[in-house]
Amino acid sequence: MTERLLPGERIDELYRNGYRIIQNRSFFCFGIDAVLLSDFAKAGSGETVMDLGTGTGVIPLLMEAKTQADSFVGLEIQDASAQMARRSVALNRLEDKITIITGDIREASALFPGRQFQVVTCNPPYMENRHGLQNLSREKAIARHEILCSLEDVLREASRLLCYHGRFYMIHKPFRLAEIIRKCKQYRLEPKRLRFVHPFVDKEPAMVLIEAVRDARERIQVEPPLIVYDAPGKYSEEIYRIYGDNWKETADAPRE
């Protein structure tokens, strides 16, 4: 498979079902937020899943390993990332389960009309375009900042893609939670589950996982916090579970 790699690319292990993923350091490589979202999201037998802004396809790959969903679609505007995602799908022989489409989140419902998805996931850009310093790499800036899509674009299109009582899953920054809830409700996505992600048990949350259901009644369940580290350099047992036992062996290996 190494002969299919382009300059700057590498193959990383996903520690689920033996799956691997192609990445390029010049682009935005997936991090813990995508792994946590793939674990938080639920998808059952017979369901179809759309991942908005799929990047190199990590969320569809992990969810295919973890759930019983029938099929997955990843939508990605950056063609180089979408091409890497397609090659990762082929690398894992999942062409019959995962389809990668090059396209704009802002036009997702036009590309896929008819509310055909039971589940929509998104690990969106966290920062507003004017907020904070942007990375010199445009590819990374697009992944981190709302340059090509906004939070409102994501929520509007997710609502249009979902069937009645379809579920939307997202990970974001807690400082935008009030805006997230307000705009979810604007687009008929009722927040149902929240889980805050803390780096340490005594630190404030760095991320928040959100499940919203289209056209559902008001009622939010706040789940127990997810703690990333038990101590500096030592992940919590739940993080080991989420990543997988094989990853635990790699993470705990001494570094030279």
Q: Which among 202, 168, 206 has a CA at the least distance from the CA of 185? A: 168
Residue 152 confidence (pLDDT)? 94
Spans of the chain below 50 pLDDT: 1-3, 133-134, 140, 142, 145-146, 255-256
Beta-strand relationship, 234-235 and 229-231:
antiparallel
Q: Following CA atoms 21, 22, 28, 34 in sequence, which dihedral angle do they give, to the nearest 10 degrees? A: -10
* pLDDT attached to residue 225: 98
Strand partners, 200: none
pLDDT for the residue 250? 72
The predicted pLDDT at position 145 comes to 43
Phi-psi region of 96 (alpha: psi -120 to 50; beta: other; left: phi over 0): alpha
Find the distance separating the first CA and the last CA of the chain, reported in whole Å.
28
Q: What is residue 137's predicted lDDT score, i.e. its pLDDT?
A: 53
Dist CA 116 CA 66 (whole Å): 22
CATH of domain 30-82+96-244: 3.40.50.150
Q: In this predicted structure, what is the pLDDT of residue 173?
A: 95
Q: What is the pTM of this model?
A: 0.91
Residue-level pLDDT at 26: 80
* pLDDT the model gives residue 2: 45
Please say whether the beta carbons of 131 and 151 come within 8 A: no
Q: What is the DSSP letter of 131?
A: S
pLDDT of res. 248 = 72
